[in-house]
Each structure stands twice: as C-alpha cells, then as structure tokens.
Amino acid sequence: MTPLLEATNVYRHFGGIMALNGVDIRLDPGEIVGLIGPNGAGKTTLFNVLAAAIPPSSGSIRFQDTDITGWPSYRVSRLGLARTFQITRPFLKMTCLENVMVGLINHQPKEALGRLQVLAREALSFVGLSEQCDTPASGLNLIQKKKLEIARTVAVRPKLLLLDEVLGGLNSQEVVQAVSMIRELRTNLGITILWIEHIMGAIMSAADRIVVLHQGEKLMEGSPETVVNDPRVIEAYLGN
C-alpha cells in the first residue's frame, strides 16, 4: 500500500536550536496515529512542517504521490491535508457558518454557494454547533471554539487531519465525547488522523499506533501497549 503521508529525514532548526533532528514518519490511509512526547519534544514543530506552515530545514515530505516539500500551506490544504491549531484560531469577527465557508469556497470554487452552505451546516451539526451557525466566533467558549476548529477542517473532507491537542481543557465526560467524535471521523468519513495529545488514556484508547518524539528525534513507535511499557518512553517523561 502506498503511504498517505511520508516524511523522510526531516530537520528543522530555529537559530541554534534543533527542533526536529532527522524525523521519519509514515502514515497509511485510514490510520489513527498518536504523536506523543514530553514538552519541547518537537511535536508542534513537526505539525507545522507537515502542514507547510513552516518549511523544513532539510528533508522531504510526500503526500500521496506528490512531493509537497516547500509548498505554501494553502496548496497543501487544497490537496487534502488539514490541521487544527493547539491554540484555537477562529475568525473571531465572522459567524460560525462563515468560518466554515472559508475553507469550502477555496476547496470547491466551482460549487454553488447554496450547496456549500448546506455542507457547512452539516459540518457544524456534526460537531454540535448547529445552534451557533449565526453566532460570531468571538461569542463562543473554549470548547465551542475547538469544535468550530474541527468543523472547519472536516467540512472540506480532508484525506489527512492533523489534530493538535484538541482535548486540552475538557472535563472527563467531554473527553469521552470528543474521542468518540474523532473515531467517527475515521469510520464515517474515512479521514486519516495524526493526533498530538497529552491525555494519555484518551489517545491510547483511540490510536492504532503511537509515535514518540523526544528532543526532536523519534524515540520509538509501536502499538499503544508496547509504547507505554517501554522503559525509554517512561524515562523520557519521568527521567531516571
């Protein structure tokens, strides 16, 4: 099977700091892969490089059959690679519906606006924001903003979704709901997911495979059980 995404030997430094130090990562279609690691391990930097928000210092990234290394992020997005932001970035002065429409009009420029609005409403109701369609995003609370973030990306039916700590700030009941929603993204919409998360219970239960980053390098990868029991992982998190 050809991988959906394959990043090879990715380096990224900021001045003298090596944020990514030769990372390889490969995602197959339909997988849910967890990306974990202690603070400063380079998880968000890897996301930014994969979503083309910043270019890698060296290395290559292939998405399906296309080499997307160095592409601008809007082209990567139109190809079907979506991402959410760790700190949500809604368009505050626009309504929720308009927020979702922005992605749709750029992914389907030839489709009629009426049809796109139907899709936008579907996406908002999928995340449970149907009541808030005409509310400006500035009027949403944190959880609703996170939901909006997911609605925006899901509306355009990406092939790959990069989720950056979408569960942060949620209580345990909300976490359960959110995890089942993320599972639905795969089963109902066929979206492959790469997911950064600090809530271990949640990510271990939902992910097929876990990749552990530590100090800009891939420490290991494997099934959730092997990862949590690996002494190197425990050491990376807790020290000796």
- Please give the residue ranges that form the binding site for other proteins (CB under 8 A): 51, 53, 72-74, 77-78, 82-83, 85, 89-94, 98, 101-103, 105-107, 109, 113, 152-153, 156
3-state secondary structure of 191: coil
Q: Could you give the residue ranges of the DSSP H alpha helices within 25-141? A: 43-50, 73-79, 96-107, 113-126
CB of 102 to other proteins, least distance (A): 4
CB of 223 to other proteins, least distance (A): 31
CB of 101 to other proteins, least distance (A): 6
CA 16 to chain centre: 27
CB of 225 to other proteins, least distance (A): 34
Residue whose CB is less far from other proteins, 46 or 219: 46
- The number of C-alpha atoms within 13 Å of 126 and in the hemisphere containing its C-beta is 25
Residue whose CB is less far from other proteins, 159 or 183: 159
Distance of alpha carbon 146 from alpha carbon 175, whole angstroms: 12
CA 140 to chain centre: 21
CB of 137 to other proteins, least distance (A): 9
Task: Find, among 166, 156, 162, 159, the residue nearest to 120 by Cα.
Answer: 156
Residue whose CB is less far from other proteins, 85 or 195: 85
Q: What is the number of residues in the chain?
A: 240
CB of 87 to other proteins, least distance (A): 11
Residue whose CB is less far from other proteins, 81 or 236: 81
Task: Find, among 74, 76, 80, the residue nearest to 61 by Cα.
Answer: 76
Residue whose CB is less far from other proteins, 89 or 232: 89
Task: Find, among 105, 136, 101, 135, the residue nearest to 120 by Cα.
Answer: 101
Contact between residue 87 and residue 165 where contact means Cβ atoms under 8 Å apart: no
Residue whose CB is less far from other proteins, 106 or 180: 106
Token representation of residue 152: 């925006």
Contact between residue 38 and residue 44 where contact means Cβ atoms under 8 Å apart: no
